[in-house]
Amino acid sequence: MIRVRPMREEDIHDVSTVRVKGWQAAYRGMVPQDHLDALTVAEDARMRRDMFARGAGSVLNLVAEENGVVVGWAALGPSREEDRKPQDGELLALYAAPDRLGTGVGKALMQQALVAAQERSFRKLVLWVIAANKRARRFYELGGFVPDGRSADWSVNGTAVPEVRYCKNLVGDGGTGAPHSASYRS
């Protein structure tokens, strides 16, 4: 059984492992390999520990665990976009351990992130995804997110990596749509 709960300081190493291994598996061929090869759990954990210590509470970090083992991580906070409104949120990250893809870990994290977004009175969520990441794009689309036409290049070691922005309305807004219900498939 997958359990989703708020991240604790003692989860940092496990979250960093999920993130680094997730990047190295998911972004192979999409992000320069030298960048992926340079990622380390120790450095990611150090950075994450610093962010966790400085945390002002605006970002909610969630972990998914099975039998006491962290198998996924998600982060949600206020939108960082220039065109944001105060009630806009952003799904900053959502990762499942590579060996747990397609097992419901991502779905469980997404469901809890959507609950948390509504509890924070967000009316809309945005997220950015690498344009070539078809698996992630399909996952978000099945969850009711749609591309909104915004794109940007993310520079990684001098290489442009195209990203696209997705959004999801969380409340009905007089004609542009209520939240979608979707079945998630692996």
Write the Ramachandran bin of 113: left for phi over 0, alpha for psi from -120 to 50, otherwise beta: alpha
**Strand ranges (DSSP E) for the chain?**
2-6, 60-66, 69-78, 88-96, 124-130, 146-156, 159-169
* Residues of the chain above pLDDT 70, percent: 91
Q: How confident is the model at residue 30 (pLDDT cuts 50, 70, 90)?
A: very high
Q: Which residue has the higher pLDDT, 175 or 153?
A: 153
Q: What is the pTM of this model?
A: 0.86
Assess if residue 183 is contained within a domain.
no
Domain annotation covers residue 134? yes
pLDDT at 186 over 50: no
Q: What is the pLDDT of residue 137?
A: 97
Would residue 110 count as lying in a domain?
Answer: yes
Which range has the worst mean pLDDT, 29-43, 147-161, 165-179? 165-179
CA–CA dist 167, 126 (Å, integer): 4
Start-to-end Cα distance in the chain: 17
In a domain? residue 178: no
pLDDT confidence tier of residue 184, bands split at 50, 70 and 90 = very low
Residue 159 lies in a domain: yes
Q: Which residue has the higher pLDDT, 82 or 14?
A: 14
Q: How far apart are CA 169 and CA 172, in angstroms?
A: 7
Lowest mean pLDDT among 33-42, 83-92, 142-151, 175-184: 175-184
> What is the rounded average pLDDT of the residues 123-152?
95
CATH number for the domain harbouring residue 153: 3.40.630.30
Q: Does 182 map to a domain?
A: no
**DSSP string spanning 88-102?**
EEEEEEEEE-GGGTT
Contact indicator for 143, 170 with CB cutoff of 8 Å: no
Domain of 160 in residue numbering reads as 2-169
Question: Is 185 contained in some domain?
Answer: no
Is residue 174 in a domain?
no
Q: How many domains does the chain have?
A: 1
Give the residue carrying structure tokens 């006491």. 68
Q: Residue 172 pLDDT > 70, yes or no?
A: no
